[in-house]
Structure 1
Amino acid sequence: METQEKTFRNYDQSDATAAVRDHYKKMRQNQTYDYVRRMKKKYLTYDTPMNLWDAFVKLNDLIDVSDPDLDLPNIQHLAQSAEAIRKDNRPDWMQLVGLIHDLGKMLYIKGCDEDGTSQNEQWGLVGDIFVVGAALPDTLVYPEFNKLNPDMANPRYNTPTGIYPENCGLDQLELAWGHDEYLYQVLKHHPGNKLPLEGMVMIRYHSFYPWHTGGSYTALMNDQDVQYKKWINDFNQYDLYSKSQITYDLDEIKSYYAPIADKYLGSDNIYF
C-alpha cells in the first residue's frame, strides 16, 4: 500500500498534465457558494428517465480530465472498482456501489461548457470537492489556486467554519458541485433505492479528499462523521488502488451485476 500511495494521485507539476492543473484552477475560480446553489436548482430536476445500464454506457465516451492516474473511459474505472470489491468478497451492495459510484458523471449529457458540466469543460463535474461557504484549506490539490476563489474575499465565507455552525455535520454542508452530489440526490429521490446508508455515504463523499484524507474541516464534523470517514476510507482503497490498464467486457459485467442492481435499485428507470 505504501508503494501505491506514492504512485497514485501524483499532482506534481512534472507528472500531472497541464490539463489536470488547468482543470483545478478553473474549479477553484468558479466553484462558489452561489454557483453550487444555482447548479442544484438547475440540474436536480429528476426529469430524465433512464435505464441504469443506458446511463452506465454514457460513461464510455467520458475520460475524467481531473484524474492523473488513468486515461481510460470512466466506465472501465467503475468496472475495475467493482471487480476489486467483488474479489475481496465484500457485500453485494458494496460491489454495486463500486460499479455506480461515478455514474453521476453522465450529467455531462445534460451539461454545458458554461457550467463546467460538459465533456470539454469538466470543472463542475469531476475533481476533489471542498466546502463552499467556508475558507479553503491548504490540503486541496494545488492550494495556490485557493486565492482565486471569489468567496475568499467575502468575510462571511473566509473563516474555517464560514456560514456553518461548529460541529453541524457533513450532511449540513454545501460542497463543490459535481458527480458525487448529483448521483447521491438522484438516488435519494429514487423510490426503488434500497442501498444502505454506508453505500449512500460512499457515493456522496468519496471525492471529498481534503476531509477524508487531508484531515481538514474537523471543526464542522459531528460524531456521525467519524463513522462516515471509516466507511469512506474503506471504500476508497477500491476506488483509488484498483486503477489499471485492465479493461472488462461490459456484457459480462452487466450479466453479473444486473441482478444486484435490481435487488437494490429495482428494475424501473431512474430519473436523472
Structure 2
Amino acid sequence: METTKKEFRNYDKLDVDAAVRLHYKKMRERQTFDYVRQMKKKYLTYDKPMNLWDAMEKLDALIDVSDPDLDLPNVQHLVQSAEAIRKDNRPDWMQLVGLIHDLGKVMYLWGCDEDGTSQAEQWGLVGDVFVVGCALPDTCVYPEFNALNKDMQDPRYNTHLGIYKPGCGIDNLTLAWGHDEYLYQVLSNHKGNSIPQAGMVMIRYHSFYPWHSGGSYTELLDENDRKYKEWVKDFNQYDLYTKSNTIYDLEDIKDYYLPIAEKYLGKGPVYW
C-alpha cells in the first residue's frame, strides 16, 4: 500500500517509537548556543580524508533514530531520494545532492555519546534543527520540550530576536548542530566543490523545518531567503516523500552516480 503524504512526519502516530520522542527531548534541552559553538570548534577540523563512496558505505551502518517514517540504514534513504530526482529528470547536480544530503551523518564515526554524535546518542547528529540564540518557536517538533533548554532562562537568548537583528537573513543565524551544517561546512571547505548555490542551500537547510514548513523566524529573514525556501521546498519533496522499503545495492548504482560526484567534487578525497 502506498504511503500518503499525511502519513509522513506524523509524530502523533501511536506506533512512533518512544525513542523518537526521547531523542527530541534530549536535543531540545541540550542544544544550546554554547553547545553549538563547541561542536563547530571540535568537528570543523577538515583533517579526516575520506572519499564520497566510502562515506556512503559507512551510512549503511546507521539508522536515523529521529525518523518516524523509516527504519532502514540511512544510505537507503539517500539512494531513494536520488533515484526519485533522477526519475523526474532533474539536473545531475540535484541528483547528487539527493545522494549526499545526509552524508554529514558520518560524523558518528568520530563522534561520542557525550556530544550526542554517536550511533547510540544522536541528538547532536540528526533531527529537525532550530535557531539557537533566540526563543524557540512552537513550530518545533514536540514544542513542550522547549522550556527544558537552559538558554530559555537566559535573557540574552530567550527573546523573540535574541542575539540577532531583524532581517539579518538565515545565513547569519546559528542553527542547532547536526549533519546538515556539518556537511555544508565540509563541502564549503572542499576546493573541488562546484555544486551550485541552490544545491548547497538544499544541503544546509533541508532539516530546518520550523522555518521552511512552520513559518517561523519571519522577522529574521531577508529577501534572499524567499529564493532559499523555494529551493529547499523543491528538494524536500524528494527527501520526505520518497521513503519506502525499497532496498538498493550501492554497487548497482555506482557506475551512474560516481561520475556525477567526480564532476562536481573531483576525484580526490573530501576532508571531513
TM-score range, shorter chain: over 0.9
1:1-272 alignment to 2 at 5 Å?
4-12=4-12, 14-272=14-272
| Alignment partners' CA distance in 2, 1:74 and 1:14 | 23
| Alignment partners' CA distance in 1, 2:199 and 2:125 | 20
Matched residue of 2:263: which SS? helix
| Alignment partners' CA distance in 2, 1:128 and 1:253 | 29
Moved more, 48-57 or 10-19: 10-19
| Alignment partners' CA distance in 2, 1:159 and 1:80 | 40
Query: Cα deviations across residues 225-263 of structure 1 (Å, max 9, x unaligned)?
Result: 000000000000000000000011110121110000010
| Alignment partners' CA distance in 1, 2:161 and 2:68 | 30
| Alignment partners' CA distance in 1, 2:173 and 2:198 | 18
| Alignment partners' CA distance in 1, 2:153 and 2:135 | 10
Moved more, 102-111 or 154-163: 154-163
| 1:42 positional shift | 0.2
| 1:13 positional shift | 5.6
Matched residue of 1:123: which SS? coil
Query: Cα deviations across residues 198-221 of structure 1 (Å, max 9, x unaligned)?
Result: 000000000000000000000110
| Alignment partners' CA distance in 2, 1:161 and 1:231 | 25
Give the number of aligned pairs: 270
Q: CA RMSD in A?
A: 0.8
TM-score when normalising by structure 1: 0.98
Matched residue of 2:131: which SS? coil
Moved more, 244-253 or 117-126: 244-253
Matched residue of 2:85: which SS? helix
| Alignment partners' CA distance in 2, 1:86 and 1:160 | 41
Mark the runs of 5 or more structure 1 residues left unpaired by the alignment. Answer: none
Amino acid in the other structure paired with 1:249: D
| Alignment partners' CA distance in 2, 1:237 and 1:189 | 28
The runs of at least 4 aligned residues of structure 1 exceeding 6 Å deviation read none
| Alignment partners' CA distance in 2, 1:207 and 1:187 | 17
Mark the runs of 5 or more structure 2 residues left unpaired by the alignment. Answer: none
| Alignment partners' CA distance in 1, 2:160 and 2:97 | 32
Query: Cα deviations across residues 152-183 of structure 1 (Å, max 9, x unaligned)?
Result: 00111111111000010000000000000000
Q: Identity, % of aligned pairs?
A: 74
Matched residue of 2:69: which SS? coil
Query: Cα deviations across residues 115-155 of structure 1 (Å, max 9, x unaligned)?
Result: 00000000000000000001000000000000000000011
Matched residue of 1:186: which SS? helix
TM-score when normalising by structure 2: 0.98
